[in-house]
A and B are shown apart, each in its own frame.
Chain A
Amino acid sequence: MSIDTSKVADSNRDEPATASKPSKVGAAATWADERLGLAGLAKKNLRKVFPDHWSFMLGEIALWSFVILLLTGVFLTLWFNPSMGEVTYEGSYAQLRGIHMSEAYASALNISFDVRGGLLMRQMHHWAAMLFIAAMFVHMMRVFFTGAFRKPRELNWVIGSLLLLLGTLEGFTGYSLPDDLLSGTGVRASDGFMKSIPVVGTYLSFFLFGGEFPGESIIPRLYAVHILLIPGLLLALVTAHMLLLVYHKHTQWPGPGRTQENVVGYPMMPVYMAKAGGFFFMVFGATALMGGLLTINPVWKFGPYDPSKVTAGSQPDWYMGWPDGALRIMPGWETHAFGHTISWNVMLPIIVLPGVMFTILMLLPFIESWITKDKREHHLLERPRNAPTRTATMVALMTFYGLLWAAGGNDLIATHFHLSINQITYFMRVAVFIGPVIAFWITRRWCISLQRHDNEKLLHGYETGIIMRSAEGGYSERHLPISETSAYTLTARERDEVYVPESETDDNGVVAPGSRVERLRSKLSTLMYADNVQKPTREELEEAQHHAEHVRELEAGLDHPASGHEFDGHNLHEVSDEPLRPGH
């Protein structure tokens, strides 16, 4: 398609570049193409279209923080010494001089105090890790709330979930490396977690730690996992995530001209390259500011790890907080039978629960498409209100997560708000089950009521804020019709169809195979869709317009809305009458 670029940046160049003169860039491109043959691929993708919306930027934050993690991480490996060999600290930090500690901890102190820029890089690395996981979380919620996980993107949802899981493990292995008292306590607890696994737990612990806890192998082994194994997997999965994104083309919000069959936005080259590239620098810059200004994980204050010591308020990084909360509020159940011990109190919250939660997360797209039996591709996003049950499901999951997360800080809540830790714990034990149900119900009703509001806007117009007084002295608010663009955008969604199973018995009265499954599907579909408010039909819209005209006739006499500013010079006026800038 041809684009009028006559007015764009004419200061850059008066004439478009021509290929007539052989340029150096052109020669290099020819050289490369003769060997790689990338011109075909580049032609298709250099002008690839990406739609614009602020929420599409969240995943980008995660991507760029991952790049920052790789860059700052390489810097740290140049000085970090992942060894548990015992040394006496003789570095700059006076308070720990002469103390016995592992080489890992000593080198973490060395990076913090004796390498210029070392502490900055350590803090940037830690902040970027937090940003990485937080951005992945928010991005995941965006994708779920807007229905962007639907066909054909289900596999990318699974890859994304794996990224979240691996990112969390990567964070845990990372903050365990400095071998300070806090991180060592975390490793100590994870030894307890492993030992709670029936049959193989003790063996797992002995193999991982190279013998009895703490041994002298865990730090080097976590280091290999942290800088090689998991980053490799992350890199591969991030690449797959991006390739699928490019292949599927990005989803977009519905609007005039934006349909299921197209994607409207700016081209990769130059606009998105510039925006995304610029955004990388902004994320990097923000991380650098945080690394320089905001202290994070001051390992020197904790001292070296000593299995007989602990600090009060020991807590993992925030993303490990929710299983830790589950661990804290779990009742102390343990079974002793036939010479064996099963500690439900550890295994259920820390081994089983995260596994179950991640499985549920990965299955969400498949559960939804199973219920709806919808096998079509979806490229237009849905507003959260237009999928009340889906939105409520995620809010219920978020509530569950949030309550467990708060339970992970029950000691801090108790000390800061002067509450009894016992009561907080008892409260949480109940709240994690009831809270999500309440949240589900409220969210669902809330969404449905927002849907009603949308229909009201379509049928009766928007509230102008102009109060009319009739001759009889009655007051009413004047409604004006919304623009065609907004009306189209509001109605550009599908009608929900409750799944109705086909006749359950055949002509001979024999129950059709699988009909119990069908009934379940129908029930879930009813729960999912039956209460939703559907957009008005054409007839309803026409009738409403007809009615509005009638009202306007009644209001004839007053050919413009009275805003109450008729005489004070602040009257409303059409924006289009205003010149763009005074003087032109």
Chain B
Amino acid sequence: MSAHDDNLPVLEADPIADPGLPEHEWRPTDVDPAMERRAERQVAAWFGLSMVSTVLFVVSYFAFAVGEDADTFLGLGSSTLFLGLTLGIALLSIGIGIIQWARKLMGDHEIVEYRHSAASSPEDREETLAVLALGAEESGIGRRPLIRNSLLGALGLVGLTPIIALRDLGPLPGDVLEHTVWDKGMRVVRDVVGTPIKASELIIGDLVNAQPEALFNGGPEGGPMEGVELQIEKSKSSVILVRMEPDDITPGEGREDWSVDGIQCYSKICTHVGCPISLWERTTGNVLCPCHQSTFDLGDSAKVVFGPAARALPQLPLAVDDEGYLIAQSDFTEPVGPSYWERDSG
């Protein structure tokens, strides 16, 4: 028994004395040779099953095709299904076999090990402190403040280099968040296909996902935008066009001429954290963001009526060009999307 450690709580026969470890009991496999051989066969059988399953795994790998017909079996990829089944059985059988071996055949005597306090002995501590003190003394770090402080200064400064070196991770924000590709006279076109929209094409209650025409002709050589440029623009310029009963619309202050025959245009990007808003409830005139359920009333300048968003959706002022197609009067008058520190408008 180890020396008693004052650092441990002790339960001395309070109120009952420790009866001590119970007697070890032999298992059937310890005393009955037939049971023992049976357990041995069981363990080996599990390992055998594993081997069979691994062979089947190899067979499945070559037998089942992947690709087009991946959904042919029970709605699951048949290759995936059989590979998973055979691999799973192969691994599980090894596990079950080993554990069976441990439980039935390996020694099951519980043994006792004594604990020691996590702390080092007082002598060790003292010696360590002495060695530390000696090291500090020999280095003279306490006696030579000039060296110490200049070293600290150097280490502090050199620590800045990784931060400086990360500067080129990205450009400074500048004012790009305040602008989109929308501009005076730019046509509002249908999402995906890019065809311009006439006011008469929309009936009351219609909601159309739309984009600035520049996405389809603002790219290289007048073609569609591509790659990053397109993705960035889509994340800012996407809009929804909605036609409502003009009587149901309460235009915001100074926004009386922003709609055309009850057709209004709002940013599709939620002012909460930037998901595209897509659920349109025709009867109430509300749109709902599927990410966090912020709800905006399109009849009332898209003000927030429910949910965590704090600001109304920015509205795009609409007009009609000579050919009768819907165009923007200007860019958005405020930044679209989620709020950020530098954002300067309510």
Contacts and interface: CB of A to CB of B under 8 A. Distances in A.
Given A341-B339, A411-B293, A213 B22 contact: no
Interface stretch (A460-468, A486-494, A565-573): A486-494
Interface string A36-79: 00000000000111000000000000000000000000000000
Contacts of A580: 28
Contact of A310 (B9, B110, B290): B290
Q: Is the interface of B mostly helix, strand, loop or mixed?
A: loop
A404 interface: no
A307 B235 contact: yes
Interface string B259-275: 00000000010001111
Nearest to B81: A292
A265 B96 contact: no
A162 to B, nearest CB: 20
Interface string A472-491: 00000000000011011001
A275 interface: yes
A292 B19 CA distance: 51
Interface size class of B (residues with CB under 8 A): 35 or more
A288 B84 contact: yes
Contacts of A169: none
Nearest to A379: B115
Contacts of B2: 261
Give the interface centre of A195, A256, A346, A488 by most chain B CB atoms within 10 Å.
A195
Interface string B192-217: 00000000000000000101000000
A188 interface: yes
B126 interface: no
A358 interface: no
A108 interface: no
Contacts of A247: 118
Contacts of A505: none
B21 A264 contact: yes
Interface size class of A (residues with CB under 8 A): 35 or more
B57 to A, nearest CB: 9
Interface stretch (B138-146, B249-257, B300-308): B300-308
A123 B33 CA distance: 45
Interface stretch (B60-68, B127-135, B148-156, B323-331): B60-68
A34 B211 CA distance: 74
B92 to A, nearest CB: 3
Interface stretch (A136-144, A199-207, A233-241): A199-207
B172 to A, nearest CB: 7
B228 A216 contact: yes
B18 interface: yes
10 contacts: A7-B30, A9-B105, A49-B113, A257-B112, A274-B102, A282-B96, A286-B92, A292-B88, A378-B9, A536-B15
Interface of B: 1-2, 4-5, 7-11, 13-22, 24, 26, 28-33, 36-37, 40, 61, 66-68, 70, 76-77, 79-85, 87-99, 101-102, 105-115, 117-119, 166, 169-173, 176-177, 191, 209, 211, 226-228, 231-232, 234-236, 238, 268, 272-279, 290-294, 304, 306-311, 337-346
